[in-house]
Amino acid sequence: MSESTHANSPRWRRLPGERPRQILDAALEVFGERGLAAARLEDIARSAGVSKGTIYLYFPNKEALFCEMIREIPSRHIASVEAMISESATAREQLRAYLRNSWDYVRTPPFEILYRLILSELHHFPDLYEQFIEEVPMRSMRILAGIVTRGIESGEFREIDPLAAGRMLHSVLFVHGVWAAKRARIPFMRDLSDNQVLDQLVDFCLHAIGQAPAPTASHVHT
Amino acid sequence: MSESTHANSPRWRRLPGERPRQILDAALEVFGERGLAAARLEDIARSAGVSKGTIYLYFPNKEALFCEMIREIPSRHIASVEAMISESATAREQLRAYLRNSWDYVRTPPFEILYRLILSELHHFPDLYEQFIEEVPMRSMRILAGIVTRGIESGEFREIDPLAAGRMLHSVLFVHGVWAAKRARIPFMRDLSDNQVLDQLVDFCLHAIGQAPAPTASHVHT
DNA sequence: ACGATTACTGACTCATAAGTAAGTTACTCT
DNA sequence: AGAGTAACTTACTTATGAGTCAGTAATCGT
């Protein structure tokens, strides 16, 4: 009745420039909810505000859409985290700052979803997996290792294998990020605020790699 | 030809007692390889050495089989890990021992698969998820927290929130376990032996929660 | 030895969703 | 304006695999 537009407001619009991104965002949502195999292209289409056929104008098939999504999404965020590394200050402060920034990234829903999808579907896309590993965790570890190295040189940190330390720091940080993103469903995260968890992380990490605070044998401060 | 057995060796045997376990093991393999949605019941049947119909004699449907698998498998291992907690010795030694035992459990393929499946399919089985969380990570964290508490009392460890410490220790340990299980595909794990990683873990963790380190200077191998 | 019973098989049905292509609508350019 | 074309839709085909069930083979009881 009032559906058939006589004059204005067309039923749909041509937006070839924006479609890929709209579809990729919808794909993240639906793949994140159901996984690669169980996700329906029609759901992605509906969520993107287009019809199923349109997806095939921009992506050859379901798998390719999935891969493209994995490739595209992290590149949006990573750079901004890295840009924030402060040059000056002590290694301690650098580490604190980097942990705080990563913490904000790592708790976002897109990251949690991506991490989960990568983990569960990596079997069938080895190249994709390696790219992700290189672009997210290894990058993070290398930066952490760099900070640790500088801290060792300045005497702030104890002598520890910087790459190993980077791996350790990364693992606590990322796991807690994933947990925090799903906080409501995880009992032992429910009563903690994000800032509390971050404080615990920083405290734990700094003690793990820090120089002994006091060289004397037993000296418990209140 | 020689297939139709005249006298001995029947084409199949009746093993109602062993079928459930056989099917569950096969399910772990196939679900682990393809995920819940993409796994084919026929593949599970073949891997279990039965036909598809047989699965339906023991499990009402695919989802139920999946859930039963998630429920059944971890219970086989957990108890054995917990049994190994030594009562005597210092908290330091207890922690070392517990990390070593968990390390062996956490690197096994079944654990890696289960962890991955839980992470990717938890959406649709909240009760199952909560059970797993309670039975595996929380159990582990509580034990770790207990050891930490004792270490604080004895003055071996610094004053730290034991539950927070338990969470931290658990997260490094488990992530490295998962990585180690998939070592071949993870660049930064390839050149490390399991024992090297364990040493790094223990070193990192003891420093993180330890009192000002013991007199030993540093034991950087090679 | 030979029914009776129970464990198991395999060929079937049927729903679902990926991928396709012919048709339709919005926009462009003269 | 109105022909031309690029963007999009919709109805279709087809493959796949979950779940079923009538029948078959192994084992038990006597």
Per-residue pLDDT tens over the stretch B26-47: 999 999 999 999 999 999 999 9
Instruction: Name the band, by pLDDT with cuts 50, 70 and 90, for residue A7.
Output: low
How many A×B Cβ pairs under 8 Å? 127
Cα–Cα nearest to B70, from B85, B80, B59? B59
* Best residue of B175, B183, B186 to probe chain A, by most A CBs closer than 10 Å: B175
A130 touches chain B (CB under 8 A): yes
Give me the mean pLDDT over the B88-116 stretch.
92
Give chain D positions with protein CB within 7 A.
6-11, 16-22, 25-27
CA of B100 to C1' of C19 (A): 51
- Measured between alpha carbons, how far is B122 from B129 in angstroms, rounded to an integer? 6
- Measured between alpha carbons, how far is B153 from B164 in angstroms, rounded to an integer? 16
Assess contact for B175 and A140: CB atoms under 8 A: no
Q: Which residue of B has its CA nearest to A207?
A: B208
Cα–Cα nearest to A150, from A201, A94, A189? A94
How does B174-191 read in b/e, with b if 16+ C-beta sit within 10 Å? Answer: bbbbbbbbbbeebebbee
B110 touches chain A (CB under 8 A): no
Q: Do B171 and A172 touch (CB under 8 A)?
A: yes
Kindly tell me if the per-residue pLDDT of A162 is higher than 80. Answer: yes
Per-residue pLDDT tens over the stretch A185-198: 999 999 999 999 99
> Regarding predicted confidence, which is higher, A73 or B221?
A73
Q: What is the CA radius of gyration of chain B?
A: 22
Give me the mean pLDDT over the A138-166 stretch.
97
Residue among B120, B129, B158 minimizing CB distance to A35: B120
What is the predicted pLDDT for the residue at B71?
92
What is the predicted pLDDT for the residue at A209?
97
> Regarding predicted confidence, which is higher, A78 or B220?
A78
CB within 8 A of B162, min separation 6: which ones? Answer: B145, B146, B148, B149, B152
Q: What is the mean pLDDT of chain B?
A: 90
Residue among A158, A188, A216 minimizing CB distance to B141: A188
Q: Do A208 and B204 touch (CB under 8 A)?
A: yes
Kindly tell me if the per-residue pLDDT of B5 is higher than 90. Answer: no
CA atoms within 13 A on the CB side of A84: 17
Per-residue pLDDT tens over the stretch B169-205: 999 999 999 999 999 999 999 999 999 999 999 999 9
Q: Report the gap between the CA of B112 and the closest CA in chain A (Å).
A: 11
Per-residue pLDDT tens over the stretch B182-192: 999 999 999 99
Kindly tell me if the per-residue pLDDT of B76 is higher than 80. Answer: no
CA atoms within 13 A on the CB side of B92: 14
Give a three-class secondary structure readout of chain B: CCCCCCCCCCCCCCCCCCHHHHHHHHHHHHHHHHHHHHCCHHHHHHHHCCCHHHHHHHCCCHHHHHHHHHHHHHHHHHHHHHHCCCCCCCHHHHHHHHHHHHHHHHCCHHHHHHHHHHHHHHHHCHHHHHHHHHHHHHHHHHHHHHHHHHHHHCCCECCCCHHHHHHHHHHHHHHHHHHHHCHHHCHHHCCCCHHHHHHHHHHHHHHHHECCCCCCCCCCCC
Assess contact for B165 and B209: CB atoms under 8 A: yes
* Best residue of A135, A141, A188, A198 to probe chain B, by most B CBs closer than 10 Å: A188
What is the predicted pLDDT for the residue at B84?
76
- Measured between alpha carbons, how far is B205 from B196 in angstroms, rounded to an integer? 14
Q: Give whole-number Cα distances, B169 to A47, A172, A179, B140, B160, in Å.
A: 40, 8, 15, 9, 13
Q: What is the mean pLDDT of chain A?
A: 90
Give chain C positions with protein CB within 7 A.
6-11, 16-22, 25-27
Lookup: nucleotide whose C1' is closest to B63 CA: D18
Cα–Cα nearest to A204, from A168, A159, A177? A168
> Regarding predicted confidence, which is higher, A37 or A122?
A37
B17 touches chain A (CB under 8 A): no
CA of A67 to C1' of C9 (A): 40
B34 touches chain A (CB under 8 A): yes
* Best residue of A204, A206, A216 to probe chain B, by most B CBs closer than 10 Å: A204
pTM, to two decimals? 0.89
Q: Which residue is nearest to nucleotide D17 (CA to C1')?
A: B40
Q: Do A161 and B129 touch (CB under 8 A)?
A: no
- Measured between alpha carbons, how far is A117 from A100 in angstroms, rounded to an integer? 24
Instruction: Name the band, by pLDDT with cuts 50, 70 and 90, for residue B80.
Output: confident
Q: Which range has the top average pLDDT, A27-41, A87-101, B110-124?
A: A27-41
Judging contacts by C-beta atoms under 8 Å, the chain A residues touching residue B211 are: 218, 220
Q: Report the gap between the CA of B174 and the closest CA in chain A (Å).
A: 9
Full DSSP string of chain A: ---S-SSSS-SS---TTTHHHHHHHHHHHHHHHHHHHH--HHHHHHHHTS-HHHHHHH-SSHHHHHHHHHHHHHHHHHHHHHHT--SSS-HHHHHHHHHHHHHHHHTSHHHHHHHHHHHHHGGG-HHHHHHHHIIIIIHHHHHHHHHHHHHHHTTSB-S--HHHHHHHHHHHHHHHHHHHHTGGG-GGGTT--HHHHHHHHHHHHHHHHBPPS--SS-----
Q: Which range has the top average pLDDT, A87-96, B76-85, B135-144, B208-217?
A: B135-144
Cα–Cα nearest to A165, from A186, A150, A180? A150
What is the predicted pLDDT for the residue at B7?
54
Assess contact for A104 and A91: CB atoms under 8 A: no
Cα–Cα nearest to A22, from A3, A43, A2, A47? A47
What is the predicted pLDDT for the residue at A221?
44
Judging contacts by C-beta atoms under 8 Å, the chain B residues touching residue A217 are: 212
Q: Report the gap between the CA of A4 and the closest CA in chain B (Å).
A: 40
Any bridge partners for residue B210, and if so which? B157
